[in-house]
Amino acid sequence: MRRRITLITLSLLVATLLGSALFLPRLAVPMIERALPATLARAGATASWSALELSWTGRVTLRDVRLEHQALASRFQATEATLKARPFSLLTKTPELTSLQVRNAALTIDDPGALRRWLQKRLSSLSSSAESRPSPNATADATTALSADPRVAHLLKNLPDVAVDQISLDAGDAYPAFSVTLTDIALKSHGDSWEVSATSELPLLLRSFAKDAALPITGTLSPARREARLDAGSTNAPALQLAGPAGSTVHVAQISLDGSSQTLTLNEVEATLSRGPLAARAELPVLRLSPGSTTPLLASLERPRVTLLRASQGETDAGGPDASATPETRRGGLIDLLRAAAWATELLASDGAIELPPPADADVTGDATPQTLLQNATLRWHQGQLDAFADSERGRALAQLILHPASLLPRYARVHLEGVSLDALPGLTTQRTLPRRGFRGEYGGKFDVFVEAIAGFDALPDALELERGYTLRAALSLSEGWIDTEALADERLEGLNLDAHGLGWLNIDRPALSTENARVSFRGVDARLDASLDLMPGERALSLKLSSPREIACQSLLGAVPEALLGVVANARIEGDVTPALDLILAEELAKVRVRISGFEEAPCRFTGLRIPYAKRAQVAFNMDRARIFPARRTLIARPDDNPVPESVPPARHELVGDFLLFGPTPQPTEDAPLPDWHRYRRDVGWLNGPFIKKVEEGVSEDANIRVGPGTSSYVPLDELPGYVGGAMYLSEDMLFYSNRALSTALINRALRMNISRSRYVYGGSTLTQQLVKNLFLTRDKTLSRKIQEVLIGWRIDEIVPKERVLELYLNVIEFAPDVYGIGPAARFYFEKDARELTPLEAIFLANLKPAPWEGPRLIRRTRTPEGGWWIERTAEIGQRLVDYNYLTPAQAAALAPYVISWPEARVELERERYRQERQAERERQQRLRERLRRSAQYPTP
């Protein structure tokens, strides 16, 4: 009987349990559906779902879940949410959740600003509560503060495992480009904290630039203690790698979020930005973002470094994303981001620096260390205003910028460099190089610059596209300046003192910069400056107009030129007054490039003497035996203004003819007539009228002994040559030879266009007189100093030496082939005849060789001149000029066709043999040199 009772009791118990398992979940569902919304309502949220299922094992499944929080302006949706809990614990005050699984979730924040304000208010109330009621148990206080509901408090201390396969975070219609998607979210419970792992997709704004759009995230999260630590990336696996157009990149090694301090930290940030020829790299060891006291966001930079880079030539956008892909989304999102960040962020930077790239010869020297330009830089950005301070070498740099909140355009900008020493700045002390390899050298002096820009529009703009302008106020001062570069002179230029100030206008829409009536003072000479710089692609142009506001003494104008640029004419004396002006236009469109020098048309400045120092005078001798060879010839020289005749003019008998002096022998010269002492005129240019002999020192072979000048037997007077010989020589290069004053703006304009089009020095634009000066007075160095000396000595020659004499000397001293100087030796070398017997075609051939005389022997070895192309066109062009200037008749010019010169086989073979011997001699010389170097390496000198 007892056994039966026991069995019945057990059967009832089992039936009860089975009934509970079957019916209690159904009975509990209504209770949970009432309790759960009530709990969420106390937190300010509303919830709904299409179905709720509760199993006897404690699993609760919600389908089509939707939660809304009005205060946070946020919505949460999920296809399915499954909670696992201990059976029936959800009906108690201590629910025991073991896991939570969510599928296809989405969180939408319609108003991010409302969420930020709610969080700030919540944190403020928590802080005041903690101060008014101190407790030794900070964790308990935080938990109590988070929620007064005991169920929530218990859950925060006993967190379940959470798994979310996918959740989309949407910033709403205001910021669609910042939407992200997280996948494979796993929160592993450790009591009151979670161990977090997830994969995040980058926002749409960055996704098209990213090398990898997936961002793995790990860390810990504790809602009860208000602690969170999320990390992404490492040194070996960077968190973020972005690639933009023109080689621009952003690299972030690690991103960390600290919830307790509310700080987002970006470690090892490197950004390279490129725009046209400009490029820079920013290195930010640490960038911290946290809530600010006066702004929602505070950004702190530690030891930032900005390095200016040399942009690569021919760089393309092939490695970056397509700039045309979704332009509106990216551009609009970026502008929105900048607008929001500009006023929501306070930026502080300390101990920063701006650096220049390593020297260009770093590969040779092995020194690839960047060069610091600015250091100890501090920066503060607050509500649209930027203030920056930095130290330079022996100077200080200050900058201020104020932006308009709607357009991000500057309303005011100011830059001030004070007491900067140029010689201490990096990049300005590089080694000197050959001029054709660039304008490099050393620079020095104290530099002060002040530039102020004020918005020139009344109604502040709301967009970046509209045309805007700024009024500029600028001042510049350079004292004790100096430049040492071979592109200018062989010696250092010193005493460069410059002051400039004025107003200008900046058009940022085109963009273009202009100034009118600015004041410039250089070494005691004042000038007005009108300038404009147009940076419109395809129409880039620089226009400068310098003019003197008053007459200047010619000697003062010469004194403003640094002595190192004047060279041998540094002691020249010049009289008169002039009002000079210079117009210069440099443009991408070569037809617009031009230079114009005005004020000297009426020859207001006249030399009284060059006064060349003895050590720098031309090294010439005089052959007095040839002084009487041409007794009937007379020399035409411009008459000096004063009387007696200046000492620079030879004291020969003369007669006045209008404004000229005719110098020469008496109509019946006698053997005992006195001859001038030509050596005394080497301090000027008068010796050019004498029978001088000059040895050629440059551009000849080591064993060559070549002499030129009227005192040599190879000299051919101009009046003994056919007229077309001299005509071809000057019409091929300097058509205005007989009318210019040793300087031709037409040739300078041609030189500018050629050099700009080829981006290097290829043509100097010298007149025949300047080329004569180079051969007899100066060297072949391609420097500004040589050009200035050419012009000044050429002007003096134009005053004393007649044009016919200049052309005659030019024909007899210039190079026509290696070691072949003068028209006489050239005629014998190329055509085995006397120069007096040259044909028009042969004269044009020699004229064509002048820019490249080394090409002549090569043409001989080819047996004939080219039968087409540039050579034929050039020959025909010079032939037509000879007709236009009455040196040839049309019939004589037509007879020149087909403009081809050929050489006999014997002459060709002779030249080829000479060339082979030269090559063999050069190879032997190189072999001897290598042998000496080898021996010196084996047996170094102690």
Q: Output the pLDDT for position 940.
A: 64
| 398 and 278 co-located in one domain | no
| 357 and 388 co-located in one domain | no
Q: How confident is the model at residue 362 (pLDDT cuts 50, 70, 90)?
A: low
How far is the C-alpha of 270 from the C-alpha of 307, rounded, in Å?
A: 11
Q: Output the pLDDT for position 304.
A: 86
pLDDT per residue as tens digits for the range 741-793: 776 666 666 666 666 555 555 556 678 888 888 888 888 777 778 888 888 88
| 56 and 154 co-located in one domain | yes
Tell me, yes or no, whether 514 lies in a domain: no
Q: Output the pLDDT for position 440.
A: 63
Looking at residues 291-299, what average pLDDT do you find?
A: 77
pLDDT per residue as tens digits for the range 862-880: 888 888 888 899 999 999 9
| 259 and 394 co-located in one domain | no
Q: How confident is the model at residue 253 (pLDDT cuts 50, 70, 90)?
A: confident
Tell me, yes or no, whether 568 lies in a domain: no
| 16 and 161 co-located in one domain | yes
Q: Output the pLDDT for position 605.
A: 85
Portion of the chain with pLDDT greater than 70, in percent: 70
Looking at residues 316-336, what average pLDDT do you find?
A: 47
Residue 445 predicted with pLDDT over 90: no
**Nearest-CA neighbor of 693 among 680, 712, 677, 675?**
712
Q: How confident is the model at residue 224 (pLDDT cuts 50, 70, 90)?
A: confident
Tell me, yes or no, whether 911 lies in a domain: no
End residue of a domain, out of 382, 412, 433: 382
Looking at residues 625-652, what average pLDDT do you find?
A: 45
How far is the C-alpha of 880 from the C-alpha of 359, rounded, in Å?
A: 52
According to DSSP, the residues that pair with 521 across neighbouring strands are 499, 526
Tell me, yes or no, whether 199 lies in a domain: yes
Helix (H, G, I), strand (E, B) or coil at 169: strand
Tell me, yes or no, whether 896 lies in a domain: yes
The DSSP letter of residue 80 is E
For residue 22, the Cα-to-chain-centroid distance in whole angstroms is 80
Neighbour count for residue 707 (Cβ, 10 Å): 19
Return mean pLDDT, the chain: 76
2 or 848, which is more confident?
Answer: 848
Helix (H, G, I), strand (E, B) or coil at 819: coil
Portion of the chain with pLDDT greater than 90, in percent: 6
| 391 and 361 co-located in one domain | no
Q: Output the pLDDT for position 463.
A: 42
21 or 928, which is more confident?
Answer: 928
pLDDT per residue as tens digits for the range 62-89: 888 888 877 767 888 888 888 887 765 6
Tell me, yes or no, whether 655 lies in a domain: yes
Is-contact 262 119, C-beta < 8 A?
no
Count of domains in the chain?
4
End residue of a domain, out of 445, 475, 509: 509
| 756 and 719 co-located in one domain | yes
| 171 and 238 co-located in one domain | no
Q: Output the pLDDT for position 655.
A: 44
Q: Output the pLDDT for position 104.
A: 87
Residue with tokens 């010049």: 574
Lowest mean pLDDT among 651-660, 671-680, 763-772: 651-660
End residue of a domain, out of 489, 509, 529: 509
Q: Output the pLDDT for position 826.
A: 92
Residue 628 predicted with pLDDT over 60: no
Q: Output the pLDDT for position 341.
A: 65
Identify which of 178-187, 213-222, 807-816, 926-935 has the greatest average pLDDT: 807-816
Q: How confident is the model at residue 59 (pLDDT cuts 50, 70, 90)?
A: confident
**Nearest-CA neighbor of 365 among 430, 440, 436?**
430
pLDDT per residue as tens digits for the range 543-569: 889 988 888 998 988 888 888 888 888
**Nearest-CA neighbor of 243 among 277, 213, 286?**
213
| 297 and 359 co-located in one domain | yes
Alpha-carbon dihedral angle through residues 820, 821, 823, 824, given to the nearest 10 degrees: -70
| 189 and 238 co-located in one domain | no
Q: Output the pLDDT for position 589.
A: 74
**Nearest-CA neighbor of 255 among 281, 283, 220, 287?**
287
Tell me, yes or no, whether 260 lies in a domain: yes
Residue type, 61: T
Residue with tokens 């030019």: 810
The domain of 421 spans 384-509
Residue 16 predicted with pLDDT over 80: no
Q: Output the pLDDT for position 39.
A: 66
Domain at 735, CATH number: 1.10.3810.10
Tell me, yes or no, whether 515 lies in a domain: no
796 or 664, which is more confident?
Answer: 796
Burial 811-821 (b: 16+ CB within 10 A, else e): bbbbbbbbbbb
Q: Output the pLDDT for position 926.
A: 87
| 478 and 351 co-located in one domain | no
According to DSSP, the residues that pair with 23 across neighbouring strands are none
Q: How confident is the model at residue 337 (pLDDT cuts 50, 70, 90)?
A: low
Helix (H, G, I), strand (E, B) or coil at 407: coil
How far is the C-alpha of 392 from the C-alpha of 655, rounded, in Å?
A: 68
Q: How confident is the model at residue 434 (pLDDT cuts 50, 70, 90)?
A: very low
Q: Output the pLDDT for position 5.
A: 66
| 377 and 415 co-located in one domain | no
